[in-house]
Structure 1
């Protein structure tokens, strides 16, 4: 080839800048590879939860999630997604483990620099270009897919008749987005959901914007309070958002299929009354908004996703269900906004604090609205309690879920069995002290993650009594202790 006939010009500033970026990317990739080669093989980690030992990850505290999801218009195809995590390192980190499965990762950056990554078990193991020091703020960005396909009972995305919703309890948020998927690490959330213009997207918190671009619109929602990953909610579908006002001007919004708007209105308009009833007992509602999401899906449960509780459509359309029952289930999920959402469990063994309290207020409300009396329900629970403990363990030390059936953690012992312990506590310390305990618990621990020991300590402080033996028997014993005030109650012997 002949030499050029003129002297070459020096590269332009833009070309030089591009060359520096490419060279930097190559060096970062090479250094990440060298660091990874020097480290032991990647392995899934966990924070040692008694029931889910590999859930959550040590070494950092998530401050916020910013999750972008692009819905292709059908609920049988993966969504394109980018999850950005702001975290604070609580230890020196050569690697960063995130909980993530059921999606494909295509890129990871740490502090804007490309990072090496690999999957190990249900963890995404990230090797940053340089180690992260304790006390350092770090930003992680993961480009991935979020796949709604798979067994309906595995959690994560729920395919509805007109789109998608989420059901992440207890350990399925990481089937949707990379996260530190344990309720002890609460964080603020921002959701950016892009979907075809004909659909409506709703998420936890309050709406910030809706921006149309061609055939799609991007909806942005932001939470005003920290949230556990298991409580995240995104709904995409042919929906109508129904607005109304609750006590003290609280913004209420319900999300229903547009075709069901009039059918469900008799139930939707009951929420302000439910809020007033609970606020009289617990104090002010702890969040910025509330509403119910009625999904055209067969999940087998309702779920207290923060500020937007998930309900099956069938709960409101089944003709055989009495009004008091449906009402009390709505109150159950609403009371979770205090117990479980605002005040979240430190470990999954503290689940009784969520479900026992929600069942307690469900039962009180049912009694007022024509259902069975609280005493009748608690007497029936007492009769079955020894069987429940044999099957699932005591309320505050439940047995792990059955292999392959994580939802089996939610056994009767953490519902009516735990409410029974609260009934006994009210007898033990008196109604006035019990009511003060309830209000103090949710006010002192708002947005927190206390555990069973904290509840015991507060009960002892308010009652002025040593309750060590009482709680040991009611929360941790294999057999149900005698019921205070009801020496005639008997628990049936458990059967194999």
Structure 2
């Protein structure tokens, strides 16, 4: 699929876990033992990534200060997390893969910590009360390496010949900063990124300023709207930069590898028109910033909808630009509650590209649907249902993208062309900056149309095999 989130590529490498420094061993020994019910869970219980995220608290803000040497590939990091305890806590976890932790404090007081796989287990000197706001500071360094996803592709901090391609779906955020690494936990972000002079460091949101001194340049970025950790980026390269503001007041920042500029720039010039078109269908753009990061990362094999500024491993085509931009509504603003529901991201973004083609001289959505539906029952398209892929290895497969989009087209046929856009706008508006589930979407469709749509949608989203061809009132 041209707009697919990823294709299989060379496996990444999992970083070596750091050990607990001897200087903090005494703290571990003297810390108050965790009482029953006061230990934050090591994961949120996601069926496909059970250790992703953590229990017992919610992060409201990340302040990340990073220094990266593009020659040695060494990263120095300081992460300050502002959080609120959702239960009494004598111990809690953060997700961090690889890298060496050099210190942890909780509310400016040194805390004990240890490593357990991808978990950074923290024991504060003083227990936290339910509802208490607290601040965790973690200092760390090392050579970040990507994790390998269940489908064999690299994910996280991926070194390039001039910097790093940083894309974190679904697990990779923890390769470069300690995080509550699940879409359920969204926060605002500040980034202070220092790189060698001549390199550009691009993160999410609005660029606040730059400063060059002593052979390095520091970039400060601010992402105000809530963001899941996997959507954060700090991509670094020798980029050609273009900045402007759209007629709607959206601040655009494009960073393009000069080797990709010739192919990328004709496509990127269409971003304002794509934003305007999608805003007309899906509702107001959910962020104050937009743009694109076009890198040359031949070993990656995918693009990602990093919030406000998608990152592309090479020059994108228009279909991919439309797809990743649509994710700003569906996936970024409206986020998942579990990875099992990823069709709500990929099916919607894929259908957005169908709609765009339909209205810009391409095939109609019905023609695209018919071409896909003609595939035999044994085709990979029908291998598993989009809302129940069955494993993390399948969440970026053809059924999630294409059959997920087909489910939306079947819905459009059932409710008609007048009602269908209202459903998309209502979904984006009612769950803006929040979360949604497949059950929530089905309920919204039935509430707004007054139709019994559960059977149709559950067949297309959950039933095994090739569904019967849908009928309905719409004539797209």
TM tier, smaller: 0.7 to 0.9
Q: Shift of the alpha carbon at 1:44?
A: 7.5
Q: 1:377 to 1:291 in 2, by over 3 A?
A: same
Aligned match for 2:45, one of 40, 48, 52: 48
Contact 2:40 2:57 (8 Å CA) reproduced: no
Aligned match for 2:70, one of 63, 73, 94: 73
Q: 1:151 to 1:88 in 2, by over 3 A?
A: closer
Q: After TM superposition, list the pairs within 5 Å mapping 1:318-467 onto structure 2.
A: 326-384=317-375, 386-387=377-378, 393-402=384-393, 408-467=394-453
Q: Which residue of 2 aligns with 1:302?
A: 303
Q: After TM superposition, list the pairs within 5 Å mapping 1:131-150 onto structure 2.
A: 131-145=127-141, 147-149=143-145
Q: Shift of the alpha carbon at 1:39?
A: 7.1
Contact 1:28 1:113 (8 Å CA) reproduced: no
Q: After TM superposition, list the pairs within 5 Å mapping 1:14-93 onto structure 2.
A: 30=26, 32-35=28-31, 45-74=42-71, 77-93=73-89
| 2-structure distance, mates of 1:415, 1:441 | 18
State the secondary structure of the residue aligned to 1:453: helix
| 2-structure distance, mates of 1:146, 1:343 | 34
Contact 2:146 2:175 (8 Å CA) reproduced: no
State the secondary structure of the residue aligned to 1:191: strand
Q: After TM superposition, list the pairs within 5 Å mapping 1:41-190 onto structure 2.
A: 45-74=42-71, 77-145=73-141, 147-149=143-145, 153-190=153-190
Contact 1:101 1:174 (8 Å CA) reproduced: yes
Output one character per residue of 1:113-166: Cα deviation in whole Å (capped at 9) or x when no partner. Answer: 111111112111011111111100111111112533457833111223321121
| 2-structure distance, mates of 1:228, 1:271 | 23
Q: 1:28 to 1:262 in 2, by over 3 A?
A: closer
Output one character per residue of 1:251-285: Cα deviation in whole Å (capped at 9) or x when no partner. Answer: 11110124554653322211111112212211221
Instruction: Output the TM-score relative to the length of structure 1.
Output: 0.84
More off after superposition, 170-179 vs 476-485? 476-485
Query: Which structure 2 segments of 5+ residues have no match?
Result: 1-22
Bigger relative contact order, structure 1 or 2 (CA pairs below 8 A, ≥6 apart): 2
Q: Shift of the alpha carbon at 1:389?
A: 7.6
Output one character per residue of 1:280-320: Cα deviation in whole Å (capped at 9) or x when no partner. Answer: 211221111111110111221111100111112254xxxxx
Specify the structure having the higher radius of gyration (Cα): 1
Q: Which residue of 1 aligns with 2:225?
A: 225
Q: Which residue of 1 aligns with 2:6?
A: none
Contact 2:260 2:296 (8 Å CA) reproduced: no
Q: 1:57 to 1:388 in 2, by over 3 A?
A: farther
Contact 2:342 2:395 (8 Å CA) reproduced: no
Aligned match for 1:473, one of 442, 451, 459: 459
| 1-structure distance, mates of 2:179, 2:257 | 30
State the secondary structure of the residue aligned to 2:43: coil
| 2-structure distance, mates of 1:390, 1:246 | 39
Q: After TM superposition, list the pairs within 5 Å mapping 1:165-314 onto structure 2.
A: 165-258=165-258, 260-261=260-261, 264-298=264-298, 299-314=300-315
Q: Which residue of 2 aligns with 1:22?
A: none
Query: Which structure 1 segments of 5+ residues have no match?
Result: 1-26, 316-325, 403-407, 487-496
More off after superposition, 201-210 vs 242-251? 242-251
Q: Shift of the alpha carbon at 1:244?
A: 2.5
Q: 1:386 to 1:263 in 2, by over 3 A?
A: closer
Contact 1:182 1:229 (8 Å CA) reproduced: yes
| 1-structure distance, mates of 2:34, 2:178 | 25
| 2-structure distance, mates of 1:443, 1:336 | 14
CA RMSD for the aligned pairs? 2.6
| 2-structure distance, mates of 1:294, 1:479 | 38
State the secondary structure of the residue aligned to 1:68: strand
Q: 1:163 to 1:133 in 2, by over 3 A?
A: same
Aligned length: 445
Q: Which residue of 1 aligns with 2:17?
A: none
Contact 1:164 1:237 (8 Å CA) reproduced: yes
Instruction: Output the TM-score relative to the length of structure 2.
Output: 0.87
Q: Shift of the alpha carbon at 1:376?
A: 2.5
Q: 1:198 to 1:276 in 2, by over 3 A?
A: same
Q: 1:166 to 1:330 in 2, by over 3 A?
A: same
Contact 2:423 2:448 (8 Å CA) reproduced: yes
Q: Shift of the alpha carbon at 1:379?
A: 1.9
